[in-house]
Structure 1
Amino acid sequence: MYDPSVPGRWLFALFAAMAETERENIRESTLEGLDTAARKGKHGGRLSVITDDMFHTVLRRRAAGESVEQIQPDLIIPTGKRKGHSPSGAGIYRALAEHAKREAYPEAVEAAHADFAALTIGEVPEPRTGTEAQMPR
């Protein structure tokens, strides 16, 4: 309960500072854990159901003028919980968008691979300068 007297305000400020400190500690621990996992090659999130073979099929058929809606029913997920089903249209569009981003900024992809290789052997990559730092993410 909040007490508007001077000792009550002081106690409220003390508890607020303690809560903020605890929140910051939790945040730092979480970021440390994510960094450690990334160094080990572990990344969060679901695995993509679009395999390389599926994606090449999508690219080939899109180049022939077919829509994602026409291609989707012919693709079959080979493993996992949805084995035997078709991937979602959103999954296909997401894979196409990631591919377009990689194609648009190949130097950024190469730089990211170089940075990751440096991190895996324990080196700290140098900060990017100039136009490299201004690339969209």
Structure 2
Amino acid sequence: MPTPAVRKPGSVWTELPRPVSASTEPVGHVRLGYARASTARQSLDAQLGSLAETGVTRVFSEKISTRTTKRPELEAAVKLAGEIRSSGVRVALVVHEHKRLGRGIELAMLAEELKVGDVGLEFLTGELKGSHDPSGIVFTVLATMSGMEREYIRDRALEGHESARKRGKTIGGAGVTDNDMLSMALHLRGQELSLRDIAKRLVITTGAKKGQHPSPATVMRMLREHDEQTIRSSEA
């Protein structure tokens, strides 16, 4: 191990910074802002103004549709928040309203990712206005909402598959997922990665979407169908 410069012969002993322990109480509090507009014509001024008034350390902003699953600035904000939190500093992601982060399952999966990273949420207005700790009720509600939407997507998918079989058609998505992708997804799930992170690490190898990442919903459906098949096999 290399010797620090302050440890040379004849120097006065100086205590070096100690590594952050998991049990150490967070020191300080950093608040990162995020603003989003759905179209290029919409202004971010109101959101940026409200974030500036709260004294956030840094603001990430972008103009991108809610229907777009990849949001570079939001991903950058979440990544930085995780890095700051891992250094032992308490951190929260601040937005004007929860709808700026997404809707339904997208918001729920983001909350799941923030909870894993022990990153808080703060909404300046709207139904969820206020500061929310990762272990608080809001994260629990969002997780429940995620489960409900996953069940809804699953039921709709199964209905669609059954309808396709009756019409003699192939099941949608057959050209997107494959056994190799399933094996990798199962491996990543075993490492307790979120659906969003799993999707980022998978690549479609065939079809019109070759080279792209599958959506989190596609990954969820693939894993759910695998689990159901495993259960049916064990009961047979």
TM-score in terms of structure 1 length: 0.45
Report 1 or 2 for greater relative contact order, CA contacts < 8 Å, sequence distance ≥ 6.
1
Higher normalized helix content (fraction of residues): 1
Higher normalized strand content (fraction of residues): 2
TM-score in terms of structure 2 length: 0.27
